[in-house]
Amino acid sequence: MTALKNSVVLVTGGSRGIGKALVEELYTRGAGKVYATARDPRTVTHPDAVPLHLEVTDPASVAAVAEQAPDVTVLINNAGASTGARVLSSPLEDVRREFEINYYGPLLLTRAFVPVIERNGGGHILNVHSALSWLADGSSYSSTKAALWSQTNSLRLELRSRGIQVTGLHMAYVDTDMTSGLDAPKASAHDIAVAALDGIESGAYEVLGDDTTRWVKSVLSQDLTAMYQQLAQ
């Protein structure tokens, strides 16, 4: 279990959506300091947050952030992108771009901050996944989140002996800018942030943020036709 009261947390993509909600909820829970990263740090609006510039695909930018935030005990890899790229028909560079942001970005941050968290006595890493980590939809986004899920599982095993716990957060649609054009049921960013931080504090390996995600996880062990009904037709 990881106490968030008086903790020092870095949230990537902390200026909007789930990231912004996480920053707000962290301060509600008494976090001592929250670094909120963004490509444009001027977009970080929380009055107490420490805004930092970060491009998650740039190793030099990641290294600079690790130097500016040497007191971090909790890392939240929230930043991500959904470009709409399709694995079969979109330009390959678009697919690679999503992997750079959604898979390699969190890996770069984790590699940079594991030594920091260790020096500070241990702590926690939260990776933001998706229900699409388990439910493929033909997009490269779902492929990146599946890969990130595997990365998180590996990190959990690798870091267990080093005093760093790892939690994966999964959810379906959330009411953010990323899903503004979708007409579908959506969870609130606040509710997802609450569930995520509850998971950190309880030491949960995974947090399933909504009913859709819980259903997807529940059918993983069943025949593929349970999840992909079109295969049974």
Catalytic residue positions, numbered:
141, 145
Closest-CA residue to 170 (of 185, 154, 155, 148):
148
Residue labelled with tokens 């992108």: 81
Burial 164-189 (b: 16+ CB within 10 A, else e): bbbbbbbbbbbbbebbeeeeeebbeb
d(CA 5, CA 73): 11
The sign of the CA dihedral 53, 35, 15, 79 is positive
Closest-CA residue to 168 (of 182, 186, 183, 150):
150
Burial 108-147 (b: 16+ CB within 10 A, else e): bbbebbbebbeebeebbbbbbbbbbbbbeeebbbbbbbbb
AA letter at 207 = V
Q: Which residues pair with 139 in a beta bridge?
A: 86
